[in-house]
Chain A
Amino acid sequence: MAARRVAITGAGTVSPLGNSVDELQRSLGEGRSGIRRLPEAIAQGSGAQVGALVDWNPAPLYTEAEAANIDRVSQFAVAAAAQAITASGLDLQSADRDRIGVFWGTGMGGAHTLDQSFLRLYGNKDWRGRPLTVVMAMNNAAGSNVALKNGLRGPFANYSTACSSSAMALGEAMLAISAGRADAIVAGGAEALLTPGTLAAWVALRTLATADAADPAASCKPFDKRRTGLVLGEGAAAFVLEDEVHAKKRGARIHGYLTGYGNSCDAVHMSRPDRDGQVRAMKQALATSGLTPKDIAYINAHGTATSVGDVVECEAVNEVFGEGGVRVSSTKSMHGHLLGGAGALEFAAALLALEQGVLPPTAFLEQPDPACKLNHVAAKAERIAPPRAVMSNSFAFGGSNVVLIAERG
């Protein structure tokens, strides 16, 4: 049997740019940033200045008592997945839920729960651990909560490869569906690690952006000479990926197809990215999709706005596509770096380009770094004829590179 094509039939998000795909895509189109100064209660003594927070109220999804027993990262995951399932039109009551799975990604899992636990233990010297600590903090809790909430009993997987976690979840879900292991998979990722302890660890790495004095929202400037580092964000994005035959049989609206997935490891350094590893991942994604570089109109770059990372990615992109051959932007300038949730959220940004021909910009890009020679979508969104295919890059600490390609029907 030929491999099955994998259709994208629904999407959902909880993000610093709004808690729906419509709001996210509108903000991206307007070049509006959700980055702001961190409140004192979150930054505390960490030294972190800015972040991209979700405006979040657990209601009506959870009562106050329920929300106290489920980590913020799982709340985001369940909310984004619910949107994606609703948007897909899948009727879970009548569907064969043994054939619907969950593939999820998160970098740190229940970071808030861990932070609270450590505060109690080490800070308050109270050694009565909270019983739900383990099931709230464990890395697979977010995905498991999605499965549990919706009764999805098919294949389950949880990926934790830092910044490429959720991109890997999408790619592996694509492979699982094309191999016939599931009719549909709710795939995505979530991250909620804006706690004082986690921020202090990131500050120590000396990779976080300082606040833009004139406009804190403009603190993340990928590819710009003035960039000072990345801005941490939080949130989730989820998709319903579905066997094309299954989707068409039920008359689902198909937003595009996930056709390319590249996965490589630098195996060079824990944090310094490697051009060749990124090139391998992009070429592998092209090879799985059967496309050539000229078929890709837009790349949503990893583009974290670190001094080294941006340059390496530009070199890798130019190695594969040739200089100026493809339009590129980093939407992290607006939603920050969602780490484990980044790949999925940015795939939603890439779909905006695929479906509507709206290329979201690298916001605030006014003085491109000469070392970043790309055909930038700078400062303002641009409109093109809806393209054949788009790419999304996710390059993680640990050297784990994931590249996804989405294609029109």
Chain B
Amino acid sequence: MDTLARIKDMAAKEFSIDPTGLDPAAPLDTLGVDSLSFIEFMFKIEEEFGVNVSDEDLKSIKTLADLERHVAAALVAAGKA
């Protein structure tokens, strides 16, 4: 499974959303994800992929697609991809 698919899968489970209609470009707040839920989700993402996303980068993540780019970059930086 590619990175985006794994993230979508985790998001669907965490936020009780139907994964089939999940648009990676949709702003997270339109999916009903508040700031606290998002921080908890990021914690799980970091654990799942074994990466760290900085506070600075975190602020620029508005969609699952944004998140995928940061995770992919962090995987490359860590020599895991």
Contact = CB atoms under 8 A, between A and B. Distances in A.
A66 B16 contact: yes
Interface string B13-32: 11110000000000000000
User: Which one of B15, B39, B43 has the highest number of Cβ atoms from chain A below 10 Å of its Cβ?
Assistant: B43
Contact of A135 (B15, B36, B42): B36
B48 interface: no
Nearest to A130: B43
A58 to B, nearest CB: 13
Contacts of B36: 131-132, 135
Contact of B39 (A64, A65, A128, A131): A131
Interface string B30-67: 00000010011011001100000000000000000000
B61 to A, nearest CB: 15
B16 A128 contact: no
Interface residues of B, number: 11
Nearest to A134: B36
Contacts of B13: 64-65
A63 B43 CA distance: 20
Contacts of A65: 13-16
Interface in A49-71: 63-66, 69
B34 to A, nearest CB: 12
A69 B40 contact: yes
Contacts of B43: 128, 130-131
User: Which one of B16, B40, B42, B46 has the highest number of Cβ atoms from chain A below 10 Å of its Cβ?
Assistant: B40
Interface of B: 13-16, 36, 39-40, 42-43, 46-47
11 contacts: A64-B13, A65-B13, A65-B14, A65-B15, A66-B16, A128-B43, A128-B46, A130-B40, A130-B43, A131-B36, A131-B42
Given A131-B43, A132-B36, 11 more contacts: A63-B16, A64-B13, A65-B15, A66-B16, A69-B40, A128-B47, A130-B40, A131-B36, A131-B39, A131-B40, A132-B40
